[in-house]
Amino acid sequence: MQDSLFEKPGSYEPLASRLRPTSLQDYIGQEHLLGEDKALRKVIESGQLHSMIFWGPPGVGKTTLAKLLANYAKAEFLALSAVMDGVKEIRACIDQAKYFQQQGKTSLLFVDEVHRFNKSQQDAFLPFVENGTVIFIGATTENPSFELNSALLSRARVYKLRGINEQTLKALIESVFSRDALLQQHELKIDAEAALFLARVSDGDARRALNLVEMASDLALAENQNIIQMNLVKEIAQESVRQFDKGGDIFYEQISALHKSVRGSSPDGALYWYVRMLDGGCDPLYIIRRVVRMASEDIGNADPRGLQISMDAWQAFERLGSPEGELAIAQAIVYLASAAKSNAVYTAYNQATELVRNSASYEVPDHLRNAPTSLLKEQGYGQEYRYAHDEDQAYAAGENYLPEQINQQVFYKPVERGLELKIKNKLDYLANLDRVSLNKRYSP
């Protein structure tokens, strides 16, 4: 008996490869690029290609689109993978392109995972892109702005591809059983609920969806079933691998979304992105470190309890581990999102840092210097210092604590929210005492 629906010794081809689109009509997704009157659609239909970078998550059709471009432009398709190939293979492809050029043919050079090539390898393409030996198409899952040389980027237009939406993936999965000859031979079908489940766990990745269909079909055949149902697809997709690349674009996009949700006082949004990051495999300790930062940057003295609660959550996670400790982090995130907001301390710190970096090293005023020796006392150190606790209301009105050159500088400007409203009122009151004291000192 045949063990696998797709197992044919010497001629095996994955379902995703067999169903690769050969025309724009069969291509799914990327309507923002390929819809009527959209930029890339016009380029393809004109047949006048330019070098470009396809940037997007795995399984959204970057390789397929490059092959379609070559077909429409009647160009020779040459391919490299930055994971597998090096300078030797780059030279071989360029030599092929030169040969085709001599015959009056155009070459399209597709480089998969182009961001994995180092700077010198990326530079190797430049003269041949410049002189038209090849039309260069690079595919990357990472942000080209950070991963590709500016010289290469200046010669190629970047097109951002998006993950395939759930309903489109469901339609693709259901259509497979009428489009593929091997599946038709065995009269296999898929339940609508099972198709939706596979679309959901595929997480925008069409290749993953088709691979899961292939696995489900094999299992159905082995169990003598002709309808793929929920119990079967759950068996092959017990652990869904989410779109989350530690250290990559999706990682930073999600932590950014979490931070902005906290700043925007959305506990629901903050909680969602927190769970998404956990689901993708993010280390909870990384998240709580960022949460502590949020407590100081976005809540600050409007609610100082936010920092303490965040530190408590960190300690709870270190003591309890997962999954109990993750709940404590969730508590801190929800508290911060719900708390009064102030970036006054963050802004003041940045302003002080900028001033120190860009100004002279001003000396400490004499009255603020300590005088532990008689010599230093003779120099006047500390002589005019006013001990605050000896003053009315324990405040030395009119005293200055900054270098003389910047004695009017104000960094910290509390907002009128939460506890900082009280802090602001107190500082305003003390500032008024300063004005009164100075007016008395300098009045005739």
Q: 76 pLDDT exceeds 60?
A: yes
Could you give all domains of the chain from N- to C-terminal order, each with its CATH number?
A: 29-160 (3.40.50.300), 166-236 (1.10.8.60), 249-338 (1.20.272.10)
pTM, to two decimals? 0.59
The pLDDT of residue 77 is: 92
pLDDT tens for 28-60 read: 888 898 888 888 888 887 777 889 999 988 888
User: What angle in degrees, to the nearest 10, is found between the helix axes of 62-72 and 39-46?
Assistant: 40
- Cis before residue 57, ω within 30 degrees of 0? no
Q: Kindly report the average pLDDT of the chain as a whole number.
A: 85
345 touches 300 (CB < 8 A):
yes
Per-residue pLDDT at 351 exceeds 90: yes
pLDDT at 6: 46
- Give the tens place of pLDDT for each residue, 125-177: 888 988 888 999 999 988 888 788 888 888 889 999 988 888 889 999 988 88
67-71, 191-195, 196-200, 374-378: range with lowest mean pLDDT: 374-378
What does the pLDDT look like over 375-416, one tens digit per residue? 777 777 778 788 888 888 888 888 888 888 888 899 999 999
* Pick from 55-59, 278-282, 318-322, 356-360: least confident: 278-282
Q: Residue 282 above 80 pLDDT? A: yes
State the distance between the two ends of the chain, measured CA to CA, in whole angstroms: 111
Residue 407: which residues within 8 A CB-CB, separation 6 or more?
A: 400
